[in-house]
Structure 1
Amino acid sequence: MGGLDALRQFNLIKWLREERQSRKLILFIVFVALLLDNMLLTVVVPIIPSYLYNLDESTDTVLKNTTSQQGSPGAFNTIVSLYDNTVRSSSSNGTAAYKDQIVPTTAAPELPQNYSDCPGSSKKLLNENVKVGLLFASKATVQLITNPFIGPLTNRIGYQLPIFAGFCIMFLSTIMFAFSSSYALLFLARSLQGVGSSCSSVAGMGMLASVYTNDEERGHAIGIALGGLAMGVLVGPPFGSVMYEFVGKTAPFLILAFLALFDGALQLFVLQPTKVEPETQKGTPLLTLMKDPYILIAAGAICFGNMAIAMLEPTLPIWMMETMCARKWQLGVAFLPASISYLIGTNIFGTMAHKMGRWLCALIGMVVVGLSVLCVPFAKNIYGLIIPNFGVGFAIGMVDSSMMPIMGYLVDLRHVSVYGSVYAIADVAFCMGFALGPSIGGSIAESIGFPWLMTIIGIVDILFAPLCIFLRNPPGQEEKIAILMDTNCSMKTRSYSTQGTSYQGENMDQEYDEYD
């Protein structure tokens, strides 16, 4: 029995060591990291507009009541103690007529049950566009600032430590969201999420690009990883709206914090983030990559494609409250078609884009995004939003699943094959869409209206689409083109071992002879 137990332990240890090098397990970790990041990103979409509106209304009601009491002749001025629930009153003429009363303390006065569901068109409701837009944009803005530092850092120390640091920061941000009850704390939590998201997304994408070296396999793997992003976007809004409606604001964030702990444990087991990988190859400087026109076109497609949904997130719920008298749960469910179609699009075109041409896939996607957002303002109820939102999500899935792999391909073709910096640029583009979208979109919606906002971003996407033609056959260094052709050919004849980094099959010379 003792020998059998020892053998089982030996086999278990051997299996664990092999699994640590498994490409599929690394892909799963990146999938989960993007899932949690984007669930936290989108779970606030239906919660924050309604929560801040009710918070502002409650504050205004308290101030009005206090003012009316203080303005009455001979009335008692009320001083509320937050510690012992007592009220000390004094007469308005300053005489010592004090008495203590026990009063119930509430965070805000009771409002009618359907008050926030149908506030109607008002200046106060329109003003919420700006506050909500700035809050949503804070995460992407901070992430935008952080990315240029994370990309080169991953080139120097590897991807394991940054992606684990991203988990830790994300967990802290989630806890803050759960227990924050003021605009300032919510703003801080959202900004902190931007740092964690930068670490997770840049390190995760760079890790996949370094593990999946074949262009077709890389596109398929990144498509699966973007499926995690899509799942987060899919589950986040309806999950947040239903939980907020029936349980409260705190519950959805506590559940996300528990899932984040699972992801952290998985990273500790597989990636061993205590180890620092020395830099084996010096990557192309970040500024050099940013001057590459083909990388800029790919980044622009990511930016403007995602800016459409970024503008919808803070403004669509408020427009629905104003024009459709939408209930709380409907504010999140309205994004469900876009989330489902994004998931479908990334999974289909993760592989298909390589066959049909990634440039063509992105071009069609940008046009469809533009046409879809142009149709959004014509909806008269929540059912009228199904087809336009479905088109938006599906088309953005086409763009992302095409442009993310082409970023790695452009580095292989034109620069040094080190991927941290180029995926920092890709994430910067993504963040610019989600930073400029809510902040500019909120102001435009307030000043000229939601329909004009959709018209502007729709036309911008359609006009940008033809630039994707330049990605059809980008020039590269001749020796790098030869290496890529040989790599893509030889990878098709190899079978991977369970470790994912060693290969079984013919030797390299034989593969080159067959290719020639």
Structure 2
Amino acid sequence: MSVTEFTLLRWLREGRQSRKLILLIVFIALLLDNMLLTVVVPIIPSYLYTITHDSNDSNHDDQGHTTVSSGFQSIFSYFDNTTVITVNATDRSLQQWSGGTPTSSPAAFTTADPSDCPKADSSLLNENVKVGLLFASKATVQLLTNPFIGPLTNRIGYQIPMFAGFCIMFISTIMFAFSGTYALLFIARSLQGIGSSCSSVAGMGMLASVYTNDEERGNAMGIALGGLAMGVLVGPPFGSILYEFVGKTAPFIVLAVLVLFDGALQLFVLQPSRAQPESQTGTPLLDLIRDPYILIAAGSICFANMAIAMLEPALPIWMMETMCSRKWQLGVAFLPASISYLIGTNIFGVLAHKMGRWLCAFIGMMVVGISILCVPFAKNIYGLIAPTFGVGFAIGMVDSSMMPIMGYLVDLRHVSVYGSVYAIADVAFCMGFAFGPSVGGAIAKSIGFPWLMTIIGIVDILFSPLCLFLRSPPAKEEKMAILMDHSCPIKTKMYTQNSQSYYTGEEEESESDE
């Protein structure tokens, strides 16, 4: 065995015990999962619109007359915001179509004027519903899968579900790359929901189990959520640029290669072939759901993320209709929200512990509501920068506060086994991304995009005062008895809510002796 091989094996053995390496694996898993989640945001509305209208235009012209598809070939789509050029197969003459009437033109292509942009006709409005349902399918399947994944991690550990999430995500990515119909895209998106459930529940539970100190746990989860934020940040512009200049398949092939790298890292470090169940029996899932404080934390996650979930399918179509935006702009429009989410999770992963996570979540919910109300006032892509930046930053505040609170509430009020509580957190996240696109698309179609933003903005503002109840959540009597039992052989932790710091029973005993 060479020195290099020996060093690598030693590094892997040490890595299996390293909290930082486990954090890196969770970071990468959330990064790639959310890249796949958001890379489709600018691609799917454009792709579905293009294949639908290409199919229609190959058989009929704008007056409904049948055309010979072999005689004319479309070069530019309406969605590109360029004038459609057709090539006559017989004489190779170029004709420019304007409003459905052909006029001779020697120009190969011209830029579109606003009249050529997609309008609010029935076909464009129907895209809201189709795209919304497709986007919501992932979160819906994830929502249904989470109640099974949480208890499963308690029985077999976090490693096997984590690796299963990688395998399913790889299959989903390949399906996205080569699917050419709405049905196959829908299946790929739904399959991703199963993989995401495995990765997010097992990943967060793993972090909560290896980072037992409240402050360290908050910092670690802030970093892990930074991976989520990076995925959300990179996904839309990455997808839209490669889609426009290379093709639909390219971004998914690149993602598939990155997913394989993450799977190899998990295989060597986590050893997912061996089950490693929890030493304690966790609190039943239904008991956790009945806890009002856990419900408030879950509700904050749900409604905050529902704001961006409603934006994803509806904003690109609204931009097409009102701003005549090109494909690359549909992805770049989400860039400020992604950057600010990354900033918010990293700042408040540390700061929220000092200022009070309840206060951080309260302010975040208020800012989400106010920012989302300002989105419809934008007249161009530059007008979207400030409100979308505010939305992303505020959601980062909420997520980086509520994820550690979930683990803390289990420590304080239940058995310190975290699979089920992070299944609830992921259910809340998925409810936002399932309910948001599916219902949001229908609302945008029926009463308009501005009213959609008004409704979700008001909901976030009205929910925010409930975060005040998380300021001093009480411990349950039986849990307090365990915490106060200084004779317990396990070093127990007692949380002092006013100072938000941990003290051990041994320290309290020494202070009383003095």
Residues 1:492 and 1:281: Cα distance change in structure 2 (over 3 Å) = closer
Aligned pairs for 1:331-342 within 5 A: 331-342=330-341
Counterpart in 1 of 2:171? Answer: 172
Q: Does structure 2 conserve the Cα–Cα contact (< 8 Å) formed by 1:39 and 1:233?
A: yes
Aligned pairs for 1:217-228 within 5 A: 217-228=216-227
Q: Deviations over 1:234-275 (max 9, x none)?
A: 000000111111011000000000000000000001100001
Unaligned runs of 5+ in 1: 71-77, 81-102, 494-506
AA matched with 1:484: K
Return the offset for 1:278. 3.2
Counterpart in 1 of 2:111? Answer: none
Aligned with 1:485: secondary structure?
strand
Aligned partners of 1:214 and 1:151: how far apart in 2? 22
Counterpart in 1 of 2:124? Answer: 125
Aligned with 1:276: secondary structure?
coil
Aligned sequence identity (%): 76
Aligned partners of 1:111 and 1:11: how far apart in 2? 56
Q: Does structure 2 conserve the Cα–Cα contact (< 8 Å) formed by 1:43 and 1:241?
A: yes
Aligned pairs for 1:412-451 within 5 A: 412-451=411-450
Residues 1:385 and 1:10: Cα distance change in structure 2 (over 3 Å) = closer
Q: Does structure 2 conserve the Cα–Cα contact (< 8 Å) formed by 1:223 and 1:351?
A: yes
Q: Deviations over 1:466-498 (max 9, x none)?
A: 000110000103235553238999x999xxxxx
AA matched with 2:480: E
Return the offset for 1:55. 1.1
AA matched with 1:473: S
Aligned pairs for 1:51-450 within 5 A: 51-64=47-60, 68-69=65-66, 110-112=74-76, 115-117=79-81, 118-450=117-449
Aligned partners of 1:146 and 1:232: how far apart in 2? 22
Return the offset for 1:511. 9.7
Aligned with 1:46: secondary structure?
helix
Confirm whether residue 485 of structure 1 aligns to residue 494 of structure 2. yes
AA matched with 2:407: G
Return the offset for 1:112. 3.0
Counterpart in 2 of 1:455? Answer: 454
Q: Which stretch of the first structure deviates more once superposed, 390-399 or 114-123?
A: 114-123
Q: Does structure 2 conserve the Cα–Cα contact (< 8 Å) formed by 1:359 and 1:469?
A: yes
Residues 1:262 and 1:68: Cα distance change in structure 2 (over 3 Å) = same
Q: Deviations over 1:160-218 (max 9, x none)?
A: 00000000000000000000000000000000000000000000000000000001100
Residues 1:163 and 1:452: Cα distance change in structure 2 (over 3 Å) = same
Q: Deviations over 1:261-317 (max 9, x none)?
A: 000000001100001113421000000100000000000000000000000000000
Residues 1:312 and 1:8: Cα distance change in structure 2 (over 3 Å) = closer
Q: Deviations over 1:331-385 (max 9, x none)?
A: 0000000000000000000011111111110000000000000000000000000
Aligned with 1:121: secondary structure?
coil
Return the offset for 1:60. 1.5
Aligned partners of 1:353 and 1:421: how far apart in 2? 24
- TM-score, length basis structure 2: 0.86
Q: Deviations over 1:387-422 (max 9, x none)?
A: 000000000000000000000000000000000000
Counterpart in 2 of 1:33? Answer: 29
Q: Does structure 2 conserve the Cα–Cα contact (< 8 Å) formed by 1:407 and 1:422?
A: yes
Return the offset for 1:15. 3.4
Aligned partners of 2:191 and 2:511: how far apart in 1? 53
Aligned partners of 2:441 and 2:258: how far apart in 1? 32
Q: Does structure 1 conserve the Cα–Cα contact (< 8 Å) formed by 2:153 and 2:277?
A: no
Aligned partners of 1:361 and 1:343: how far apart in 2? 16
Unaligned runs of 5+ in 2: 82-116, 485-491
Residues 1:290 and 1:382: Cα distance change in structure 2 (over 3 Å) = same
Residues 1:270 and 1:511: Cα distance change in structure 2 (over 3 Å) = farther
Aligned with 1:56: secondary structure?
helix
Q: Does structure 1 conserve the Cα–Cα contact (< 8 Å) formed by 2:494 and 2:505?
A: no
Aligned pairs for 1:503-514 within 5 A: 513=510
Match of 1:47 among 43, 50, 54: 43
Q: Does structure 1 conserve the Cα–Cα contact (< 8 Å) formed by 2:376 and 2:450?
A: yes
Aligned partners of 2:436 and 2:49: how far apart in 1? 21
User: What is the CA RMSD across the aligned residues, in angstroms?
Assistant: 2.6
User: What is the number of residues matched between the two proteins?
Assistant: 465
